[in-house]
Amino acid sequence: MPVHAPVLRYLDEVVRQGSIRRAASQLNVASSAVNRQILKLEAEIGVKLFERVGKRLVLTPAGEKLTLHVRKTMSEWDNALSEIKAISGESSAEVAIIALPAFLEKIVPEAIEEITAHYPKMRFNIFSTSPIDTVREMRSERHDIALLFANHHFRRYRLADRIDSSLGVVMGPGHPLASARQIALADCAEYPLILLNDPWELDATSEMEFVRNNAPFGSRIVTNSFNVMKEMLKRNLGIGFFAPIGFIDELLSRELVYVPFKSPDASGSTGLFVHEERAQEPHIKLFVATLNRRFATTQERIDALLHRGAEGRRRTKAAKQT
């Protein structure tokens, strides 16, 4: 959509090509038309914009200054067009997302449902990752948006939001540990573990705590399926070490129970990372804003859930004392 005067496009192309003839060929116009517009512009502002060096046209200092302004103007125009398309629902741009499985349970699907109601042509490429694959994937910079543990730093990605929570034990409501207020890792030693992926999601420091307490570490089930892992937990076939984010519905319905670890270092905070070079692209900004709303809602639900769990354990303790 050529809203700006043709001379702006002509000037930019001559700078790129270093030749009026080659610029005219790229623009699909006559060389005389390009030459006439450049001469007219020079006459209007009263300075030479180009000088010839050998067979190539190069910018004068005045030409360099003007070219910066022209390119900024054209870039802002292109961005405005993209945003208008996005606002009108015409954006068909793709958003590349990498996420831990817990985010793919509700947050990502709900965010996509919300945004596609307004921007139905927007497309999504979603990659589920495990902690062991995260670093390699983030180094590739293929993903626009990442939903991962917040305690990591990734080159060229900035943290745009976070959900604060702690790691703890997730289990069925009939499990012997379900009524505990907090749990130490050593308390878990006699119960089989259900792990999502391998190696263990907790770090080597946690494993060393098992060793220091002479507590055996072993898994009954290892799976790469989040849904399979949930079903095993519901059936009391073992316990899992997770933050509550991927289990909110099951915790609210009391199909599962979450009890935090005693360790103050057991952070389970999760973050929303955005590639810094693509963060201002209209479709990325729109989807990040949608995820921000989902993060706020999820944080409220987790806070309410933890408060309810603490209240329930206090009531249970009081009932036992009476």
172 and 247 in one domain? yes
Q: Please, what sign has the CA dihedral across residues 33, 39, 42, 44?
A: negative
Domain count, the chain: 3
73 and 19 in one domain? yes
Residue closest to 64 by CA, chosen among 126, 12, 6:
12
10 and 81 in one domain? yes
Q: How many residues does the chain have?
A: 322
172 and 160 in one domain? no
71 and 29 in one domain? yes
140 and 186 in one domain? no
160 and 274 in one domain? yes
Q: What is the DSSP letter of 122?
A: -
Contact 144, 274 (CB under 8 A): yes
> Is 28 within a domain?
yes
Q: Please, what sign has the CA dihedral across residues 34, 37, 40, 46?
A: negative
155 and 174 in one domain? no
Of 87, 115, 138, the position where a domain reaches its end is 87
> Is 138 within a domain?
yes
Q: Containing domain of residue 126, as a range? A: 98-164+269-306
> Is 312 within a domain?
no
CATH at 240: 3.40.190.10
Q: What is the pLDDT along the chain (322 residues), one digit of tens a residue?
A: 455 678 888 998 999 899 999 999 988 999 999 999 999 999 999 999 999 998 889 999 999 999 998 888 887 777 777 666 665 655 568 899 999 988 998 999 999 999 999 888 889 999 998 777 888 889 999 999 999 988 888 989 999 999 998 889 999 999 999 999 999 888 888 898 888 775 444 444 455 455 555 555 566 788 888 899 999 999 999 999 888 998 999 999 999 999 998 876 667 789 999 999 999 888 899 999 999 999 999 999 999 888 775 555 555 555 555 5
> Is 216 within a domain?
yes
> Is 1 within a domain?
no
Q: Structure pTM? A: 0.65
Element (H, E) at 123: strand 123-128
180 and 245 in one domain? yes
119 and 83 in one domain? no
> Is 318 within a domain?
no
21 and 82 in one domain? yes
247 and 176 in one domain? yes
